[in-house]
Amino acid sequence: MHYKVFGRKTGLRVSELALGAGNFGTGWGHGAERDEAKRIFDGYLEAGGNFIDTANGYQAGQSEAMLSEFIAAERDRLVIATKFTMGTTPAAGISHTGNSRKNMVRAVEESLKRLNTDHIDLFWAHVSDGVTPMEEILRGFDDLVRAGKIHYAGLSNFPAWRIARADVLAEVRGFAPIVAIQTEYSLAERTAERELLPMAEALGLAATLWSPLGGGFLTGKYRTNDENNRAAKLGMLIHSEKSAHETALLDTLLALAAELETTPTHVAIAWLREKAKRSTTALIPILGSRTREQLDATLGALAVQMSAEQLSRLDGVSDVAKGVPHEMIAGSVARYTGAQTLDLPIIPAA
């Protein structure tokens, strides 16, 4: 496995694939028991991985508690990321959810105890609550960095305009910077290309990418829509074959897998790795395996090489409309700005 510097705002070194620990535990009624979770963890480290992503609410706190045991002997060589916002259990009250400073401070103390560590390497606000001012979030992160309880801060599932404002506020007020974003991104979900990923590249933010297989959709195993289908059971995090676009994507993915004598899983992850190679900042897919076999099957993508023509086929069949104003900027406006004869910079202008 290769390693990357985690964006242009840090010197942190992380593996090119992160391990998501959302399946560590059974607090949601599904997931991996302790022994299976340990097999997944060991397999990831054996492959050279060092970046673990969890959250206080994953499996109602079981994920962090399991990781505390797994990471004990390896703590200094690992990068541990966790999150707050959603609460640890579905019964969490109003004061145990949201982005407020009160909830942030309470959550970080609880995560430190569950993880049995004295610091968190990367602490995420899990999702924008839409009401907490960005100044409050940034000041809370800054205080935690200065206290040594976290090393870096990031924003997960926030709109691009809020992240961009946070970047400026942190700079002008001398707060600890926001160093990364987390967003869903895969062949099945490319709308982050409209705002989030160009913003991250321009501002030097790393991006960790959740659900790289569309919740299993891109494995090609869940094409039926019967009531026992995994997509029907798990709901919002699972993509499904609901239109001609998804059908064409899966057909192309399966055809390319056959050409390459590999699996659709390998092709989907290999496509993300190629996107990461072409980016000027770090793009890190998060693998959310539920079994060791799933992890091993996913890691096989590290050996897959695709031609430019094969990548182009995947790009074309999975493309999404960029919308306003991006299509206008890329189209007729270029004629009036001299862009057709201008050598564009590698890093886009912010």
Q: Which residues are catalytic?
A: 58
Q: 48: Cβ–Cβ under 8 A, 6 or more apart, which residues?
A: 1, 15
Three-state DSSP class for residue 238? coil
53-85 burial string, b = 16+ CB within 10 Å, else e? bbbbbbbbbbbbbbbbebbeeeeeebbbbbbbb
- Token pair, residue 306, equals 């695709």
Look up residue 122 and give its amino acid: L
- Token pair, residue 174, equals 């001398």
Can you tell me the distance from the alpha carbon of 239 to that of 33, in angstroms, rounded to the nearest whole number?
A: 25
What stretch of H or E contains 264?
A: helix 264-278
Can you tell me the distance from the alpha carbon of 58 to that of 26, in angstroms, rounded to the nearest whole number?
A: 9
Residue appearing with tokens 């009401």: 131
Can you tell me the distance from the alpha carbon of 60 to that of 265, in angstroms, rounded to the nearest whole number?
A: 28
Three-state DSSP class for residue 248? helix
Contact of 263 with 299, CB cutoff 8 Å: no
Can you tell me the distance from the alpha carbon of 119 to that of 112, in angstroms, rounded to the nearest whole number?
A: 7
C-alpha distances out from residue 21 to 59, 177, 209, 262, 350, Å: 9, 25, 14, 26, 34
CA 287 to chain centre: 9
Please name which of 64, 40, 68 lies closest in space to residue 53, comparing C-alpha atoms.
64
Can you tell me the distance from the alpha carbon of 22 to that of 162, in angstroms, rounded to the nearest whole number?
A: 26
DSSP state of 22: T
